[in-house]
Structure 1
Amino acid sequence: MKIIAFTFAGGSRYSFQMFSKKISHFIVEEYPGRGLRIKEKMLTEIDMIIEDLLPKVIKEIETTKEYIIYGHSMGALIGFLICHRLQELEIKSPLKLVVSGRNDPSLKRDKKIADLPNIQFWEEVIKIGGIPDELKKHPELIDFYVPILKADFKAIEDYHYEKSEKLKVPIDVFYGKSEGISENEIEGWKNHSTEKVVLNSLEGNHFFIYDNESFFVNYFESLTTNIHIPIN
């Protein structure tokens, strides 16, 4: 069974190495303009990103009987929308959608920062916990990452939710207890599927997936081997 994964804003396939190195068939779909796709033009609209990724996801689906979709933060929104497109096209749905670090996708973003000057933008991203600790230790990388982050934030901030048919896929939702997402904002995920939606809080900030690496490795392995491990 494959896990098809989508990273957070500014991320690349290397952002999920802690999973892909330990879990078989953990496949990270990379956005244009970073990682192995660094020479491609970055996209600043969610719909364009979805249309770019969709054929790549379908190609992966064609070579597996069952699969799971996972995304963190921006990747959670991407995964959610990919599931909708697959359902609309009547293509085999995932056994489960797993999302982390993202509130109810129907909620509007109150604050927009993508158009700020670079230094101010970087400071705002740090304030909202949008940069992993490891990256904060290397300020010399700011000039490289800011254009990528701005493109991703632009896509997220300009996204407008459109109500559509509910997913027919169970959803596991994870969020960090210290990342500033309220229970009410998380509860909204239950409105997006006809199947069971399980909400789970873990210790940590927006990048709690790194603080809970062992937990997630075991969790993903349990999904791919069909061994049930209680998560709530």
Structure 2
Amino acid sequence: MARKDSWIKPLRGAADARARVLFFPHAGGAASFYAPFAQRFPEGYDVAAVQYPGRQERWGEPFVTTVEGLADRLVPSLRRWAAKPVPLVLVGHSMGASVAFESMLRLGHDRLTAHCRLVVSGRAAPSVTQEAQTFDSDQDLLDHLARLGGTDAAILSSPDLMDLVLPAVRNDYRAVTSYRPAPDAVVETPVLCLTGDRDPQVTAEEAGAWKRHTTAGFRLKMLPGGHFFLSDHPDTVVRLVAECAEFGDR
């Protein structure tokens, strides 16, 4: 991008991009999680990730405390990304799927979704009611993160590193817990849903319910693994996202 944007961190550029991909991190996650994925895309893909406030180079900035607030704050950056007439794929994992969905709804209000696609991963559909997760202590939360995977073991075992990471995790889990999406909200763009066949957070039925939230095509793809199945299958995930960019839901 021509201007520096604190919300969008470039991971792989393309001078004359034929498609653009923007990743949305999970709760407590950061843009750097997707750097290994970015390098696997074909030539001509412009790949970046959203960087939420309160982590990495935005460590000193105050957190945004709601999913809807994150989407609202992202809209100006997304308008610039959606302005180019090439396929734009928003890819969100776990909490990131909710932020990406809310962001796509806002782009739809601006009539900027004609060449957009949405990939949601590791997240139940907005119309699915799930019991809110609560944790009695930081240790309970750490144990939960360890069970899910996705957090470096070296971070989980280091009190100093966890002191840095835990505030972002706590904030994001509160945001997810308080998120109340409209159960009948729909986007006007193809949706690809990815889910792990052993994900303790999302059943196949809850993932498949994303079909209710698009007026365009829908595809559900189940991959082996738990909540962070995508880390075990980066090449497959990249291939599916690239296919979504090129062909929509087909």
- The alignment's TM-score, normalised by the length of structure 2, stands at 0.82
Q: 1:171-182, aligned counterparts within 5 Å?
A: 171-180=191-200, 181-182=202-203
2:214 is the counterpart of 1:214 = no
Provide the C-alpha distance between the structure 1 equivalents of 2:249 and 2:80, rounded to a whole number of angstroms.
30
2:42 is the counterpart of 1:21 = no
Provide the C-alpha distance between the structure 2 equivalents of 1:187 and 1:218, rounded to a whole number of angstroms.
20
Aligned to 2:216: 195
Confirm or deny: 8 A CA contact 2:218 2:249 kept in the other structure: no
Provide the C-alpha distance between the structure 1 equivalents of 2:113 and 2:207, rounded to a whole number of angstroms.
27
2:140 is the counterpart of 1:120 = yes
Equivalent residue letter for 1:175: T
Q: What are structure 2's unaligned runs of at least 5 residues?
A: 1-18
Q: What are structure 1's unaligned runs of at least 5 residues?
A: none
Inter-CA distance 92–193: structure 2 relative to 1 (3 Å threshold): closer
Aligned to 2:153: 136
Provide the C-alpha distance between the structure 1 equivalents of 2:83 and 2:116, rounded to a whole number of angstroms.
15
What RMSD in Å do the two structures reach over aligned CA positions?
Answer: 2.2
- Secondary structure of the residue that 1:25 maps to in structure 2? strand
- Secondary structure of the residue that 1:173 maps to in structure 2? strand
Provide the C-alpha distance between the structure 1 equivalents of 2:87 and 2:28, rounded to a whole number of angstroms.
29
Identical pairs, percent: 23
Inter-CA distance 190–203: structure 2 relative to 1 (3 Å threshold): same
Provide the C-alpha distance between the structure 2 equivalents of 1:160 and 1:32, rounded to a whole number of angstroms.
21
Q: 1:94-113, aligned counterparts within 5 Å?
A: 94-113=115-134
Per the TM alignment, residue 164 of structure 1 is displaced from its structure 2 partner at its CA by 4.7
Provide the C-alpha distance between the structure 1 equivalents of 2:187 and 2:242, rounded to a whole number of angstroms.
24
Q: 1:73-88, aligned counterparts within 5 Å?
A: 73-88=94-109
- The alignment's TM-score, normalised by the length of structure 1, stands at 0.88
Equivalent residue letter for 1:21: Q
Aligned to 1:56: 77
Q: What's the CA shift string for 1:70-129, capped at 9, x where partnerless? A: 111111111111111111222234432111111112223313326x432222223334x1
Provide the C-alpha distance between the structure 1 equivalents of 2:128 and 2:244, rounded to a whole number of angstroms.
29
2:181 is the counterpart of 1:161 = yes
Q: Give the total of aligned pairs.
A: 225
Equivalent residue letter for 2:129: K
- Secondary structure of the residue that 2:226 maps to in structure 1? coil
Per the TM alignment, residue 165 of structure 1 is displaced from its structure 2 partner at its CA by 4.7
Provide the C-alpha distance between the structure 1 equivalents of 2:36 and 2:117, rounded to a whole number of angstroms.
21
The correspondence for 1:10, drawn from 28, 35, 38, is: 28
